[in-house]
Amino acid sequence: MVKKIGSRIYLSIIFLFLYLPILVLIVLSFNNSKTRVKWGGFTLKWYASLLENETIIEAFVMTLQITLTASILATIIGTLAAIGIHAMKSKGKAIMLGATNIPLLNADIVTGISMMLLFVRFTELGFSTVLIAHLTFDIPYVILNVLPKLNQTSKYAYEAALDLGATPLYAFYKIVWPDIRPGVFSGFLMAVTMSLDDFSITYFTKGAGVNTLSTMIYTELRKGIKPEMYALSTILFGIALILLLVMNYRSSKKAIN
């Protein structure tokens, strides 16, 4: 009993540690005061003025464009790559997995700098260079989420389907796809999360005109963060919370059925 209470308390402290800053940001988004340290009463005005703040909206749209394009492309390339790697012999597999680990384990700053050195040699820094950089660190997350699911699928069912006259594409869609779909989906979600939260790699590979929310926050640090920024983050966090809760609810319903 004492042990149980103790572990509950420990759990609460860690969750407080993780979620306290989020709570602070949410409270700040409703704070009717220009200074961050004082509570000036409840207001929704930052949410209203958010739409009129062009720099924030512009950075937000840019962030969405980069995040979604990179995540979708990374999911396609990564899933295909995972199927290919899965079919490889152990030596090829090891080499591919080793290369996949490089962007995951290498320091962000080194990845960002090395890509910048490549880009400035051949092209100008801009939207497409940020996109390529994001794809590079997104693809490994997709591969690492899809590969374990592929390992669980039975290759005999797939071969049986082929023997019974299914085309490879049809057999894939009917047999392999249902098994790997959760992995593909969680890989996509990880890619979105990582792209959305990335600062270092974007910072080094972006051109002058390109600003994501992260890089904008960094450049505005000295001037002070605009309250509209808190409003936008609160909305984003709310959407993520609802989205993930719905997904969890659906998957738990499925598990019961």
Partner 1 sequence: MFKLKKQFLAGPYIVWIIGFILLPIVLILFYGLSDYHGNFTFDNLLSIFDPIHMKSLLFSLRLALICTVICLILAYPLAMILNSMHLKHQSFVVFVFVLPMWMNFMLRILAWKLLLSNNGVINNILASLGLPAIQLLNTPSAVVFGMVYDYLPFMILPIYNAMSRIGHDIIDAARDLGANQVQVFFKITMPLTISGVLSGIIMVFVPALTSFVISNLLGGGKVLLIGNVIEQEFMQTMDWNLGSGLSIVLMIFVIASMAFMNTHNKDGEGTAVW
Site for partner 1 in 234-253 (CB under 8 A): 236-237, 240-241, 244, 248, 251-252
Nearest approach in angstroms of CB 30 to partner 1 is 14
22 in contact with partner 1 (CB under 8 A): yes
DSSP string across the chain: -HHHHHHHHHHHHHHHHHHHHHHHHHHHHTB-SSSSSS---B--HHHHHHTT-HHHHHHHHHHHHHHHHHHHHHHHHHHHHHHHHHHS-HHHHHHHHHHHHHHHHS-HHHHHHHHHHHHHHHS--SHHHHHHHHHHHHHHHHHHHHHHHHHHS-HHHHHHHHHTT--HHHHIIIIIHHHHHHHHHHHHHHHHHHHHH--HHHHHH--TT---HHHHHHHTTTT---HHHHHHHHHHHHHHHHHHHHHHHHHHHHHH-
Nearer Cβ to partner 1, position 11 or 61?
A: 11
Q: Which stretch binds partner 1 (CB under 8 A): 41-49, 50-58, 64-72, 143-151?
A: 143-151
Number of residues that bind partner 1 (CB under 8 A): 85
Site for partner 1 in 58-87 (CB under 8 A): 77-78, 80-81, 83-85, 87
Q: Contact, 63 vs 212, CB < 8 A?
A: yes
118 in contact with partner 1 (CB under 8 A): yes
Taking CB under 8 A as the criterion, the residue among 57, 64, 113, 166 binding partner 1 is 113
Nearest approach in angstroms of CB 170 to partner 1 is 14
109 in contact with partner 1 (CB under 8 A): yes
Nearest approach in angstroms of CB 181 to partner 1 is 14
5 in contact with partner 1 (CB under 8 A): no
Taking CB under 8 A as the criterion, the residue among 56, 62, 70, 115 binding partner 1 is 115
Nearer Cβ to partner 1, position 49 or 83?
A: 83
Site string for partner 1, 26-45 (x = CB under 8 A): --x-------xx--------
Site for partner 1 in 166-225 (CB under 8 A): 168, 186, 190, 193-194, 196-197, 199-200, 204, 213-214, 217-218, 221, 225
Taking CB under 8 A as the criterion, the residue among 30, 60, 141, 188 binding partner 1 is 141
Q: Contact, 190 vs 141, CB < 8 A?
A: yes
Q: Is the dihedral of CA 30, 36, 37, 41 positive or negative?
A: negative
Q: Which residues contact 216 (CB under 8 A, 6 or more apart)?
A: 55, 56, 59
Nearest approach in angstroms of CB 58 to partner 1 is 16
257 in contact with partner 1 (CB under 8 A): no
